[in-house]
Structure 1
Amino acid sequence: MVAMPTYGVQRQSGRAMAIALTAEETELCELLDGFTTHYRQTNPTAEPLTLRIAGGWVRDKLLGMESHDIDVAIDRMTGYDMAVRLTQFLRQHGHKQHHVTKIKSNPDKSKHLETATTHLLGLDIDFVNLRSEVYNADSRIPAHQAFGTPEEDANRRDITINALFYNIHTRKVEDFTGQGLTDLAQGVIRTPLAAYETFMDDPLRILRCVRFASRFAFAIEQDIAEAMDKVPIRQALQTKISRERVGVEVDKMLRHRHAPHAVERLVHHNLFPLIFTLPTHYQGMTHNHAVAHGIAQTLQWLAHPEWLALLTSSAEAGVVARELPTLYLSACLFPYRDVTFTEGKRVFTGPQYVVREGLKLSNNDMDKCHKVISTYPVIRQLVDRCIPMAPSGDAQWAMQRDLGRFIRSVGDLWLPVTVFALGVDLVPLALPSALPPSSLQANTQLHQRFAAYQRLIQFAQDHGLSRCYTWKTLLSGKEVAALLGIRPGPVMGEILDVVMAWQFNHPMASVADCRAFVTSDDPQVQALRQSAQSEPEKPKRRKKSG
């Protein structure tokens, strides 16, 4: 086994592994069994049809977990043909009509199988034929593809625990690799065939090995670790797999509660450069990927309800939990924060490029990660200003103004961003992977940094700034222009910024109070007023005659 932390390998020994069907699953199996009987009766010369549930559903049920995604493997026809025939059978027997979606194969991106998907009895069901493929030595596109046997199909799957079948007719688990049940019981991630061959069939399986090892806290078999380090495998992961598929796999890793374990394994196996890809001319640079795991690990315990309760109210803590996948992704991107490059007239940061091009995630994902990472220095400065003493007088006004501007710049992400910054700050302390709140008083450095962030969050709450990102100026631009006797123009945006800064310091102010401020002798407003008055009036456009 690979010499790396496994977080206590979860073994199933001592607990009998068996599949207990729900009422819906029982009804589904009965329907599918009835369909095969009907098929045999109406096609007496055809080979008998055997249906099996394959993959993750079998694994999860054996582990005592429920699963609503079911893959039905067919041995005599394509998944789409099976789904269409089943729909006709159900309609003939008075069942509700169900829509079938055909998903075409894309072999050049290692998506070899055509599948069909439908929704039945509250379950998401995919239909796919058992496969047997032969590859050319220089290509990942199958030279020959035909209906396979269960043994051939099982050996072409990613890992043994995902290669188990549940025979719908016998209601028995079938382990055609001969290792799946043992590996599931002993907590081992192993490929059915040699790892090198398995990964060359579909290099994305590298990431799937990492994801399932992290999800179940299983150990990765040595053959897998060695194959991950082979140059042809690493090249195939970069060139043979669409970045969209990589992005989907990374997203699944980071949405699981064991996301920090996945990040650690990606660092350990040196997979970061292959997944979080930068532009070509930056790919030879050295980055401290280990810091990503440090941040993710710290975020995990900071996001625990007991820790969040020390920072903020339970209502606001929900935002942190919701955005935790964004924070984990930002942790992975943090090593590239100082990378910038130009595309046309636009300047991109390394994290923006990785999200957009390396992972093909959404613009929303890119924007959120950019806010989390780029505002880290800003919030550090705000936190440091809270450390010496509680602000008062001019210092308090300046603090309210600057904190309000920061919160408005990141919107409802401000609290997750603050927790992320705290996570980054705590990495140098090399704290344990799991830390109870009771340890806060025992560690002086931890207590000091945590208390500083507590003060900042409390300051925002005490001065009514927690939701200032929803505020609008009490006066519109036209109203301000009328009060100051100026024309609306470019300076108006600056004046409204001053008005909003005033509102940060007067969160309970009325419209009348705001009018009084705008017409007062405030030096900033008066300077901007004079600037607006000195602007030359734009010439009016002449109407075309004719």
Structure 2
Amino acid sequence: MQQRVASALATLAPVTDELGALFASAGEELALVGGPVRDAMLGRLHDDLDFATSARPDTTERLLKGWGDTTWGMGREFGTIGARKGEYHVEVTTYRSEAYDASSRKPTVDFGDTLTGDLGRRDFTVNAMAVTLPGNTVEDPFGGVVDLAHGLLRTPGTPEDSFSDDPLRMMRAARFAAQLGFSVAPEVVEAMRAMAGRIEIVSAERVRDELVKLVRAPYPRRGLTLLVETGLADHVLPELPALALEHDEHHRHKDVYQHTLTVLEQAIALEDRLPGGGPDFVSRFAALMHDVGKPRTRKFQDDGTVTFHHHDVVGAKMTRKRMKALRFSNDEIAAVTKLVELHLRFHGYGSGEWTDSAVRRYVRDAGDQLDRLHVLTRADCTTRNKRKADRLRRTYDDIESRIERLAEEEELASVRPDLDGNQIMTLLGLKPGRDVGAAYHHLLELRMDHGPMSEEDATAALLAWWEERKRADGA
């Protein structure tokens, strides 16, 4: 680890050496802290660097203005001044301590005077290490190096004090377990379990941001399992623990909770099919939420089986409600809920009986989420029956090849009627209104059913529909 730190600091020297000398010349202390130090010990490099200093914000801002390409002070109330120089993004924060009172959603901030005091307020020992500058001396007052070597998350002080100061740290424990693949110390898990309800005082936006980082991490199953086992998920994502439906000897259905986590992992394994690759939050969160409608739609049958009719529609509504509560953007909500609502559509395909019309509608309904729907649908197969799994894979291969063929022939991604709105109004002598919309919809349905039509055929079909509509209205 010492060699890794030395190598990382050599790479960062243009920034760390300059800043260390700059603050020292002003009579102030400066140290590289937190994630960059931890990741340096893991052999990872950062261009986002966090520093702690004895300097107050006004002094920090003055020093950074003379050094950086740009500076900003949006975090001033928390003691943080930011700067950018070249490719490096730097945040320098005054030594501080912070805590929540019993009802506040925002921490109160008091500036401190020592590096050790500042490190002691941090979330976990692996994030409570520093490298003082200049001189590049490692400071590790809480045993973070040993915990890092053992892959263990512990708090610098008691976990109860840490989580009382900032309840979001419980979410961060799950997130770091997912990001680093680390275990969480038993006393930390027990404190999370005992204090889970305190997460309610943290803003939805902060909870959402931690959840996104967890889901996008390399090992999200670790973090999600920890949220469920400690009861935190009951407060931040209650739909997930609700999937752990009780089983009995008379009713047969797969473990929906474990199935969901497996679908998530299989979706991650398929992310190379997506245009942007991964990690892809929308695809992963849709996998996590795709079956949340099952508990509300479960029905027991006389033959011992269990049904979950319409759980796709119910699940989409539940997903929308949860994502709104967590303050996700409208675009993210629309994308995830569309995938949840459509995740069963493929199973109506049977062994390949869909008409071209049905394939067109599948593509139209999926819209810009088609690639993600392919991933989710394939990931949703968790059967241990190899013959069944192979059959489902071959069937989906077939529908994808048909989509590709029709896309080449008909530009499926932008399916529109063969006449536009202006042509419709001219042919029927109409002004903009409901009749034009109805005509447009009729031609779109024809396009879906029969594929592209010539302008002559589309015109004849429109006029015939219009005459029939007028006769019906007259009747």
Question: What TM-score does the superposition give when structure 2 sets the normalisation length?
Answer: 0.83
- The verdict on how the C-alpha distance between 1:134 and 1:476 changes in structure 2, with shifts beyond 3 A counting, is closer
Structure 2 counterpart of 1:458, from 394, 401, 408: 401
Deviations 1:49-73 (A, max 9, x none): 2100110000111111111111110
Deviations 1:296-333 (A, max 9, x none): 02212233x4xx4xxxxxxxx425x3583102112333
What is the distance in 2 between the residues matched to 1:419 and 1:284? 24
Is 1:406 the counterpart of 2:362 in the alignment? yes
Contact in 2 for aligned 1:409/1:469 (Cα 8 Å)? no
Contact in 1 for aligned 2:132/2:139 (Cα 8 Å)? yes
Aligned position for 1:449 = 392
What is the distance in 2 between the residues matched to 1:499 and 1:142? 58
**C-alpha displacement of 1:150:** 2.0
Aligned position for 2:434 = 490
Is 1:470 the counterpart of 2:414 in the alignment? yes
Q: Which moved more, 1:122-131 or 1:331-340?
A: 331-340
Contact in 1 for aligned 2:80/2:92 (Cα 8 Å)? yes
Deviations 1:258-309 (A, max 9, x none): 334433433343432221258xxxx999865444312202212233x4xx4x
Aligned position for 2:16 = 29
Is 1:86 the counterpart of 2:59 in the alignment? no
Aligned position for 2:282 = 326
Counterpart of 2:23, as a letter, is: T
**C-alpha displacement of 1:491:** 4.3
What is the distance in 2 between the residues matched to 1:373 and 1:272? 20
Aligned position for 1:209 = 173
Q: Secondary structure at the match of 1:235?
A: helix
Question: Structure 1 stretches of 5 or more lacking a match?
Answer: 1-11, 41-48, 91-95, 106-112, 309-316, 341-346, 431-441, 537-546
**Larger RCO: 1 or 2 (CA < 8 Å, sep 6+):** 1
Counterpart of 1:237, as a letter, is: I
**C-alpha displacement of 1:227:** 1.1
Aligned position for 1:108 = none
Contact in 2 for aligned 1:133/1:144 (Cα 8 Å)? yes
What is the distance in 1 between the residues matched to 2:58 and 2:204? 30
What is the distance in 2 between the residues matched to 1:467 and 1:413? 16
Q: Secondary structure at the match of 2:202?
A: coil
Structure 2 counterpart of 1:236, from 192, 198, 217: 198
Aligned position for 2:136 = 171
Contact in 2 for aligned 1:35/1:89 (Cα 8 Å)? no
Counterpart of 1:454, as a letter, is: D
What is the distance in 2 between the residues matched to 1:473 and 1:138? 57
What is the distance in 1 between the residues matched to 2:436 and 2:322? 37
Aligned position for 2:96 = 131
What is the distance in 2 between the residues matched to 1:301 and 1:53? 36
Is 1:266 the counterpart of 2:233 in the alignment? no
**C-alpha displacement of 1:126:** 0.9
Q: Which moved more, 1:207-216 or 1:143-152?
A: 143-152
Aligned position for 2:7 = 20
**C-alpha displacement of 1:189:** 1.2
Question: What TM-score does the superposition give when structure 1 sets the normalisation length?
Answer: 0.73
Contact in 2 for aligned 1:263/1:332 (Cα 8 Å)? no
Q: Cα RMSD over matched residues?
A: 3.4
**C-alpha displacement of 1:153:** 1.7
What is the distance in 1 between the residues matched to 2:129 and 2:86? 23
**C-alpha displacement of 1:477:** 2.8
Number of residue pairs matched by the alignment: 445
Contact in 2 for aligned 1:267/1:289 (Cα 8 Å)? no
Contact in 1 for aligned 2:196/2:230 (Cα 8 Å)? no
Contact in 2 for aligned 1:484/1:529 (Cα 8 Å)? no
Q: Secondary structure at the match of 2:6?
A: coil
Counterpart of 1:373, as a letter, is: V
**C-alpha displacement of 1:336:** 3.2
Contact in 2 for aligned 1:118/1:125 (Cα 8 Å)? yes
What is the distance in 2 between the residues matched to 1:214 and 1:205? 14
**C-alpha displacement of 1:360:** 1.0
Contact in 2 for aligned 1:401/1:502 (Cα 8 Å)? no
**C-alpha displacement of 1:82:** 3.6
Contact in 2 for aligned 1:267/1:293 (Cα 8 Å)? no
Aligned position for 2:48 = 69
What is the distance in 1 between the residues matched to 2:466 and 2:270? 44
- The verdict on how the C-alpha distance between 1:23 and 1:189 changes in structure 2, with shifts beyond 3 A counting, is closer
- The verdict on how the C-alpha distance between 1:200 and 1:535 changes in structure 2, with shifts beyond 3 A counting, is same
Counterpart of 2:178, as a letter, is: S
What is the distance in 1 between the residues matched to 2:22 and 2:109? 30
Deviations 1:349-384 (A, max 9, x none): 111111111x21101111001100011233332x32
Identity %: 20
Deviations 1:492-528 (A, max 9, x none): 4344334334444665x47xx13224415x9xx7355
Contact in 2 for aligned 1:491/1:531 (Cα 8 Å)? no
Larger proportion of helix: 2
Aligned position for 1:185 = 149
Question: After the TM superposition, which residues 198-347 of structure 1 pair with which residues of structure 2 at under 5 Å, given as runs?
Answer: 198-230=162-194, 233-238=195-200, 240-276=201-237, 289-303=257-271, 305=272, 308=273, 317-318=274-275, 321=277, 324-337=280-293
- The verdict on how the C-alpha distance between 1:257 and 1:318 changes in structure 2, with shifts beyond 3 A counting, is farther
Deviations 1:10-55 (A, max 9, x none): xx8xx95433246772122222233134313xxxxxxxx2100110
What is the distance in 1 between the residues matched to 2:103 and 2:369? 48
Aligned position for 2:455 = 514
Q: Secondary structure at the match of 2:44?
A: coil
Counterpart of 1:86, as a letter, is: L
What is the distance in 2 between the residues matched to 1:368 and 1:133? 37
What is the distance in 2 between the residues matched to 1:330 and 1:414? 13
Counterpart of 1:531, as a letter, is: R
